[in-house]
Amino acid sequence: MTSWVALCSQDELQRNGLYVLELPSTSIVVFWAEGEIYAVENICTHDGGELAGGPVDGTTVVCPRHGARFDLRTGAVLAPPAYGPLRTYPAQIREGQVEIQLGDTPR
């Protein structure tokens, strides 16, 4: 069974707009966008750029390195130079806490 991992409070996520979880194996960023939370791998599939800090337009994040665009809801690529989708993670707010499921992500 996959368990939920608590990251931060909803207030903190709303205030900062994002939360980054660094793991030994990867980096995950949770965005607050359009009143929802979205968790995606924080590594652009074009050339490994960090997506945290890239502009968010609606539910689209723009990679700050070369401008690839991704749909935060699905991880799908919306504009090159990236062609592969981002990995997404289930995310929820429970009792005021932001939680994600890491699935089979090595920790």
Q: List residues binding ligand FES (CB under 6 A).
A: 44, 46-49, 63, 65-68, 81-82
For residue 22, which amino acid is it? E
Q: Which is nearer to ligand FES, 9 or 59 (CB)?
A: 59
Name the one residue in this structure whose structure tokens are 């502009």: 55
Which residues does residue 6 pair with via DSSP β-bridges, in sequence order? 99
For residue 11, which amino acid is it? D
Q: Which is nearer to ligand FES, 10 or 27 (CB)?
A: 27
Q: Which is nearer to ligand FES, 30 or 68 (CB)?
A: 68
**Hey, what long-range contacts does 61-65 have (CB within 8 A, 24 or more apart)?**
61/31
For the bound state, the minimum distance from the C-beta of residue 86 to ligand FES, rounded and expressed in Å, comes to 10
